[in-house]
Structure 1
Amino acid sequence: MTSQVLGGHPYSQPRETPRGWLVVLAAMVGVAVGLSPVPFYTIGMFAPELSKAFGWSFAAMMGSIGVQSAVVMVSGPLAGFAVDRWGPRRVAIVSLLLFGLCFMSLALSNGSLLLYYAQWGVMSVLGAGTLSAAWTRVVNGWFDKNRGLALGFASTGTGLTGFLIKPFTAWIITDYGWRAAFVAVGLLPILIGVPIILLLFHERRGLAATVGSNEAAEVEEYGLTLMQALRSRRFWILAAAFFLIAFALTAPTPNLENILKSFHFELAQIGRITASFGLAVIAGRIVGGWMLDRIWAPACAFVILLVPALGSWLLAGDTLSGQAALAAVLCIGFGAGFEFDLLAYLISRYFGQRNYGMIYGCFYTVIAFGGGLGPVVYGYAFDSTGTYGTALLIGVACVLTGSVLLLLLGAYPVFTAADAANPQQS
């Protein structure tokens, strides 16, 4: 049996060096130009152009995001298997290249909506190696004491994309047209992502092997296999918790503008209020990561997830002032920024690094399902009742229940070489 550590760290050997922060920088860039943020933040820029060119409805074009979510539920675990089998660096480089080419292929759209969806489906398979599993596995391997903070900084890449890529895409569309814009955006992962990953993104295990050290390799491979994890009660506690958390944190995000509109805010005011969401996401990643390094992660999560619960509760009221609306959006954004960092941290602490990619991929499927379901439920609630109040209160209950479930995970296990062959982990 492994020993348990409640608030400390499950690895006894120090592993943090300045070079690890270069890996974090590379991971941040990889996240920024990957499958998760690039299509999500640019689809709104391309939609009016495609509608004008082919007569597609906005609902039909936004269906591409649904296609991506559905495909990622399958391709996420497969990408995790590839990360464990061939290594995160190789998978990330190949996937960045293929993702860029697939995105560029959207410039060849000919008016067939079915073909357009198929392109998104292929892109979601080939680009799945740019999702969080590859980046967080390598960052985990370089850090122990400051692991949460490192994960937080790495995941701020999505916030940088949200801030920079919209004006870039708008400039290309305005000056050169939407087809050129698809090509220009698709070149970003190829011309920026691939060179930086080749130069800076290295597993500590691989680096240690070049100097004849096996310390890092041992640390990297300790932990549970996927089958051992599936037999663990912690796996199913975490799955239930993150389904509820993903549902509650994702559901309000695409509905924020309509939620505020239901309180009769003017469009310009809605734009100013919702613009703060991205900054709150970045703050949630960094502050949450910093706290994870100092507080037992389930307790840290319980405290931080009270913040988005408060945000949803504020939006569920009968009246809403401008100040309360801004506070609510900041609270929800802060919680949304914490979600993926928390998941990566908990997986590394409770299941180890041995089959990290596959285990993370399984949880990505859970998050994709919960996150995809949430906006639909909220939209249906609004269509049926004309208000989001009941749905938002359900979201409050979900996020609070999920945070309580995390407290059942118990102390961090300490993985050793003897545990690698032990099927009785729990």
Structure 2
Amino acid sequence: MSSQVLGALPVSESRETPRGWLVVLSAMIGVAVGLSPIPFYTIGMFAPELSRAFGWSFAAMMGSIGVQSGVVMVSGPLAGFAVDRWGARPVALVSLFLFALCFMSLSLSNGSLLLYYGQWAVMSVLGAGTLSATWTRVVNGWFDRNRGLALGIASTGTGLTGLLVKPLTAWLISDYGWRTAFVVIGLLPIVIGLPVVLSLFRENRKAVPMADSAEATAEYGLTLRQALHSPRFWLLAAAFFLISFALTAPTPNMENILKSFKFELAEIGRVTASFGLAVIAGRIIGGWLLDRFWAPACAFAILLVPAAGCWLLSGESLTHQGAFAAVICIGFGAGFEFDLLAYLISRYFGQRNYGVIYGTFYTVIAFGGGLGPVVYGYAFDTMGNYGAALLLGIGCVIVGGALLLALGRYPEWDQD
């Protein structure tokens, strides 16, 4: 299938320079201190402290993740529109600063659960500019031949958060209390993120002749309206709803899944520590493979890895080695998911309205990802185990991967 867009450059024309790898580094750090990983990886450590302080149930505090997912379904596309309209760099700078203030404001919690949810809602609106659409749009503009690898490295920021911010949060809570921990973790986007983005994060202005926007970059591709009329858009949406449901659901339930197999708390900690490394491996290895093979076929093969991990957890017994293998397999697949989405959007829909198109797909991911943990939790409450839910997840990830195979060949964006 061939598509032509006025003023576009062929996607095959290489734009890669050494400067682009500094942009990848800055995007990686921006991802690491943004809205997606910091609340997700720290809520599990803050929850027991808030429960002791205010008597909130664990389920009520996990509801904050549901609030974030629901709000991001609206704020994600709006942030993508802002990136397309005003450029990724200014949106990233403003959103990092506002997200940091919102996260620090959680230290002022006074026992009102409604106010706590409201803080999460505001944080999810103002921090939406730190989501993947902002960073991946700019990385796409610097790379073609090594685009998958560049996206993979940039996205390892979430894995770094899991490896570094989680233990930092635990230490801060233990030695200084949860209020201080909220403030210190909230300062990271300002102290680390803002200087790096200011100095290194730049759009590739040499990719094409400049458009009206000072931050405009490669303008080949479809508008959002054109994308919405494409069968590929809805095929990709269905696939990623199933994939996000299957890959997100086990993560917040992992400790309880292992606990259901009679693992001790210390052993659970050792096993789940491998998740962050597996996410990083999934991003880098998956991105490298995307550059060398047709992405849908590559995705289908890689998604069989987390399916195998879920199968290991769905049995009636689980060895220590099996638990390690399952966590690594699921982490590898979870790491690959967002790289894959960014890569497929850039290849099948182009860069013209990349931000808002990615933001729209993020709505699908937020819905599937928010629904998955709830379904898994309900399955455990009603049946006392996760076996049926994990088998459902296996079916979803395999069907989602198979749907990608129907996307067909990449469009050829020809210069008119």
User: TM above 0.5, one fold?
Assistant: yes
Tell me which residue corresponds to 2:346.
Answer: 348
Cα contact 2:141–2:207 (8 A) shared by 1 = no
Cα contact 1:10–1:412 (8 A) shared by 2 = no
Q: Residues 120-161 of structure 1: CA distance to partner in whole angstroms, max 9, x if unpaired?
A: 100000000000000000000000010000000001111111
Q: Which runs of 5+ in 2 are unaligned?
A: none
Cα contact 2:104–2:182 (8 A) shared by 1 = yes
Shift of 1:207: 8.5
Shift of 1:348: 0.2
Tell me which residue corresponds to 2:252.
Answer: 254
Tell me which residue corresponds to 2:108.
Answer: 108
Superposition pairs for residues 28-47 of structure 1, below 5 Å? 28-47=28-47
Shift of 1:181: 1.9
SS class of match (1:305):
helix
Shift of 1:327: 1.1
Shift of 1:32: 0.5
Q: Within 2, Cα distance between the matches of 1:318 and 1:107?
A: 42
Shift of 1:244: 0.6
Shift of 1:319: 2.4
Q: Within 2, Cα distance between the matches of 1:219 and 1:118?
A: 36
SS class of match (2:352):
coil
Percentage identity across paired residues of the two chains: 78
Cα contact 1:11–1:219 (8 A) shared by 2 = no
Shift of 1:325: 1.9
SS class of match (2:26):
helix
Query: Which amino acid in structure 1 is aligned with residue 161 of structure 2?
Result: T
Superposition pairs for residues 112-131 of structure 1, below 5 Å? 112-131=112-131
Tell me which residue corresponds to 1:384.
Answer: 382
More deviation, 101-110/333-342: 101-110
Tell me which residue corresponds to 2:176.
Answer: 176
TM-score (norm 2): 0.94
Query: Which amino acid in structure 1 is aligned with residue 276 of structure 2?
Result: G
Query: Which amino acid in structure 1 is aligned with residue 62 of structure 2?
Result: M
Q: Residues 10-51 of structure 1: CA distance to partner in whole angstroms, max 9, x if unpaired?
A: 623211110000000000010000001111112222223222
1:409 to 388, 399, 407: 407
Q: Within 1, Cα distance between the matches of 2:337 and 2:225?
A: 25
Shift of 1:213: 12
Superposition pairs for residues 9-48 of structure 1, below 5 Å? 11-48=11-48
Query: Which amino acid in structure 1 is aligned with residue 314 of structure 2?
Result: A
- Once superposed, what is the RMSD of the aligned Cα atoms? 2.1
Tell me which residue corresponds to 2:186.
Answer: 186
Tell me which residue corresponds to 1:71.
Answer: 71
Q: Within 2, Cα distance between the matches of 1:48 and 1:3?
A: 54
Q: Within 1, Cα distance between the matches of 2:39 and 2:414?
A: 41
TM-score (norm 1): 0.92
Q: Residues 360-395 of structure 1: CA distance to partner in whole angstroms, max 9, x if unpaired?
A: 011000011111111111111122222222211111
Q: Within 2, Cα distance between the matches of 1:295 and 1:301?
A: 10
Cα contact 2:203–2:215 (8 A) shared by 1 = no
Q: Within 2, Cα distance between the matches of 1:274 and 1:3?
A: 45
Cα contact 2:240–2:365 (8 A) shared by 1 = yes
SS class of match (1:110):
coil
Query: Which amino acid in structure 1 is aligned with residue 98 of structure 2?
Result: L
